[in-house]
Copies of this chain bind each other. A is one copy, B any other.
Amino acid sequence: MRVLLVEDTIGLGEAVRDQIADDGHAVDWVQTLGFADASVKATAYDLILLDLMLPDGHGLTFLRKLRTAGNSAPVIILTARDQVSDRVEGLNAGADDYLIKPFDLSELSARVSAVARRYRGNPNPIIHVGNLVVDLNDHRIHRNGQPVELTAREWAIFEGFIQRPGILLSRSQLEDRLYAFGAEIESNTIEVYVSRLRKKLGHDAIVTVRGMGYRLEIHGQ
């Protein structure tokens, strides 16, 4: 799926872009309405993620122009919790959905893949890694055929690994998955969750890279 991300906050934009790319979609990220305008003229997007407060104007102006131009691509609005009127107006202006900042990356994934599913009638994407079978939408894991139960936090971490198996994830990247961006944490929480995941998924499933981070190890069978 081709996704256009219109968002001027750098940290958030990066995180969203990476998440969507990891989910297997092509992302174009622009920071202004001007570039957004140009992009939709050049490309037929399957989904548009639209922030409302942008340096060169309000997202709703863009949305209305898009609709009157006959573009009916699904639009998901990214908005702050207190801007209720914006949200209502957004839906009236032709948005399909909205996400309230700060949002979980997994919530974002869910919304995006809901759109993707509607567009091509896809079943759940199932990933096989070593002796694990993972259903991403359903948050379900089987290890050697046995179901494995993960808590919300454990899943958040694990999802980060499974999306890029074999790739090194730094501590702070993992922390971002737990505490919607920003929130600094000074403790060994990540270590604890890695430990818990190892207990559930096998002790060699996650490899420590000293001083750098962790990586999911693909092994077996």
Residue count of chain A within 8 Å CB distance of chain B: 41
Is A220 an interface position by the 8 A CB rule? Answer: no
Q: Contact flags (1/0) for A83-122 with B, using CB distance below 8 Å?
A: 0100110011000111000001011001000100110010
Is A200 an interface position by the 8 A CB rule? Answer: no
Contacts of A215 in B (CB 8 A): 138
A117-145 interface with B by 8 A CB criterion: 117-118, 121, 124, 137-140
Give 7 new A-B contacts, CB below 8 A, not counting A72-B110, A107-B170. Answer: A72-B107, A87-B182, A121-B121, A139-B209, A152-B210, A152-B212, A155-B212
Binding site for B on A (CB under 8 A): 70, 72, 84, 87-88, 91-92, 96-98, 104, 106-107, 110, 114, 117-118, 121, 124, 137-140, 151-153, 155, 166-168, 170, 172-173, 181-182, 184, 209-212, 215
